A and B are shown apart, each in its own frame.
Chain A
Amino acid sequence: MNKSQLPPATTGGLLSSPRNRAIIFQCLALLAVVACAFYFTSNMFDNIEKRGITTGFSFLGETAGFGVSQSLIAYDDTTSTFLDVFIVGILNTLLVGVIGIICASVFGLLIGIGRLSSNFIVAKLSLVYIETFRNIPILLQILFWYNIVLAALPGPRQSFSYFESIFLNNRGLLLPEPIFQSGSIFILIAFVIACTAVIFLTRWAKKRHDQTGEEFPLIKVSLAILIVSPLLAYFVTGQPITAEYPALKGFNFQGGLAIIPEFLALTFALSIYTATYIAEAVRAGIEAVASGQKEAAESLGLKKHVILRKVVLPQALRVIIPPVINQYLNLVKNSSLATAIGYPEIVTLFSGTTLNQVGQAIEIIMMTMAVYLTFSIVISLLLNWVNAKMEIKGR
């Protein structure tokens, strides 16, 4: 603020000047907040010390000593520490968050468009879907899907089997695990080259379209490049990727990739639930696009799906993105309800099991809150950046 904008300092005493008063009141308010915070924290630590409760973060280095049903990093029950448990929890939360957000977005977009479809059945089915799943509490849905999933699936010995390599039973979905041998790096290189080629192709196609108005079948050609070049590399280098197949041994299947039913139920429930809100945001966005835009596009002779993709959705996105940010945040936060079905994410593992084994509630709850705060801020920042990109730019 410019000094001249402040109220003029008068000479008649310190407090008679509105400017001085404003500064003094602000200082007092700040002091009161700091004093309150200091009083609460010191009082809390005072009480904790009186009770003889251990404090500090040294517990993170101790051996955890309990089993975890899903871990994205190497986790060993007998040697891994509570810090490892913390990381396992964060990664499992992230996994549900990322997969859930992708599924919910795709599903929400389709349902949202379907809700406005001129096809009566599609529109009404979308409406029924939205109204049903939006109005049932998410916890009930998680429990429902978990119990349905488990009740419907057979035991390991009676697994559903597909091509003798994919198995589905009440211990989870078992897939062949790819094993990368030497030479598989060339496949990755081929894929990176293909991606670069597609980027250049896109630019070239856009330029050509701007200059000549001719359409280039960009999607089909890009897909072909992306699939064919790694495949070629795969065969040229002598098929360096093999797979380890799950096999029934003893109590259960050994080897392969196992996706546990808790993960399936949780991700499914969260996606289904969040998709209803995203669908409504999509509908609101599309309805907000002036109908003149569509009519103008139609009068140019554009096909319906081209109108949707190139005229309606880009404008609708400006309305859609802000509410969708909230839904992404909700999805990540709702994943903590996993504690009801035993999926090992951060709340279940860290502020649940770990808290009970070491008893240091304050440190553990603060760390867990910090994790969710970080997730939420990162998601907001990312999408706000996208939102800024999408805004109408003045020329």
Chain B
Amino acid sequence: MKVTKIALLLGAAALVPSLASASTLEEVVKKGDINCGISTGIAGFSSTDSKGVWEGLDVDFCKSVAAAVFGDASKVKYIPLTAKERFTALQSGEIDVLSRATTWTATRDTSLGLNFAGVNYYDGQGFLVNKKLGISSAKELSGATFCIQAGTTSELNLTDYFQSNNMEYRAVTYDTSGQTVNGFKSGRCDVITSDASQLYGLKLKLDDPDSAIVLPEIISKEPLGPVVRQGDDEWFNIVRWTMFATLEAEELGVSSANVDAMLKSENPSIMRLLGKSGTAGENLGLKGDWVYQIVKQVGNYGEMFDKNVGKDSPLNIDRGLNKLWNQGGLMYSMPIR
């Protein structure tokens, strides 16, 4: 039960003296793997394949951090969390990094004792409706019933949107995205609202995916990114620069296929990235080949995107805002030098 779990976590927080002073990197190295908090099942971001192995963009991020820290992408323990549980799990130290389609907001960043390491997916909230209703715009949704996941920014944005458009709505809130889809399938609600990327995944879970459409309106900004506990700058840097490294690798054209050949590259940026020159890895407290390991074992950002949510995946989401900055998107790595 959730309350028991949270109470236990709080109890643990009360018992363990000064958790904040222990270095997360030291602890992670000592226990030999990274506890990575992921979702209980969002297609493309973190879900299990037919063999029960976790896969997705968020899962690949967990692997990238493990590759950077251990040189081995498999040293991750995945902890599936509902939206409601995720922050308590991070605060209490049950997980080392939260990689779970989490929106970066001011409240979360400033009042929960957490830090957002960056944005690895620019998203926005959308609506999924049954085609039978004959609706083509969110403006026609007044009076409709919505299925939402409890404790998300979607819940709050929905109220704002309907108030600013002078419309009414009813909400049914569920704990997991699985329950949300079931509510929609059984007709408990007319509309599912969530981040647009998740709606494409939810649509695939319907018995007849073509029976529903995603409406064109995007009603909010949802910058999703990995989160760590506040007060451990060393670990925060590792997570943040792991994300940048995957972007920088894509920008420089370094991929899992050519990374071995790239080791011989004379390009100074690539040499710095792969640890042939400079001390980026050592400064982070990692080995010099940290980016090599990430790209070799997991891939660059573009590869992860295409494989999990983009053109090579069943979701087939357009990269849109998630293109690199020099291709018209918002993805911009701070220079690794």
Q: Which residues of A contact B (CB under 8 A)?
A: 40-41, 43-44, 46-48, 50-54, 65-69, 77-78, 147, 150-151, 153, 155, 170-171, 249-252, 254, 260-262, 336-337, 339-342, 344, 347-348, 351-353, 355-359, 361-362, 365, 368-369
Given contacts A66-B171, A67-B158, A347-B3, 7 further A-B contacts (CB under 8 A): A50-B20, A50-B231, A170-B187, A342-B175, A352-B151, A353-B155, A359-B107
Near A by CB (< 8 A), chain B positions 94-138 give: 107-108, 111-113, 133
Contact indicator B3/A67 (Cβ below 8 Å): no
List of B residues within 8 angstroms of A359 by Cβ: 87, 91, 107-108, 111-112
- Interface flag for B229 (CB, 8 Å): yes
Write the chain A residue with the least CB distance to B153: A357
Contacting pair B186 A66 (CB below 8 A):
no
Q: Which of B83, B173, B231 contacts A348 (CB 8 A)?
A: B173
A355-B173 contact given A44-B10, A249-B143, A251-B190, CB 8 Å threshold: no
Answer whether residue B261 sits at the interface, using C-beta atoms and an 8 A cutoff.
Answer: no
Scoring B residues 173 to 202 as 1 if CB is less than 8 Å from chain A, else 0, what string do you get?
111000100110011101000000000000
Query: What residues of chain A lie closer than 8 Å to B257, measured between beta carbons?
Result: none
* Bound complex: CA A67 to CA B152 (Å): 12
Interface centre among B14, B19, B162 (most CB of A within 10 A): B14
Contact check, A51 vs B229: say whether CB atoms are below 8 A apart: yes
Closest approach, in angstroms, between the C-beta of A357 and any C-beta of chain B? 6
Q: Are B188 and A353 in contact (CB under 8 A)?
A: no
Instruction: Answer whether A78 and B143 are a contact pair too, CB < 8 Å, given A51-B20, A51-B113, A150-B186.
Output: no
Q: Please give, as numbers and ranges, the residues of chain B lying within 8 Å of A336 by CB-CB distance.
A: 1, 3
- State the CA gap A359–B155 with chains docked (Å): 15
The range of chain B's interface size is: 35 or more
Cα-based distance from A153 to B151 in the complex (angstroms): 28
B183-A44 in contact (CB<8A): no
**Are the CB atoms of A365 and B151 closer together than 8 Å?**
no
For A357, what are the chain B residues with a Cβ–Cβ distance below 8 Å? 107, 151, 155-156
Of B17, B91, B108, B151, which one neighbours A353 at CB under 8 angstroms?
B151
Return chain B residues, CB-CB under 8 Å to A369.
7
Tell me, in angstroms, the Cα distance from A213 to B92 when the chains sit together. 72
Complex-state Cα separation, A338 to B148, whole angstroms: 16
Residues of A within 8 A of B2 (CB): 339, 347, 351-352
Task: Please indicate which of the listed interface residues B107, B108, B155, B158 has the most CB atoms of chain A within 10 Å of its own CB.
Answer: B155
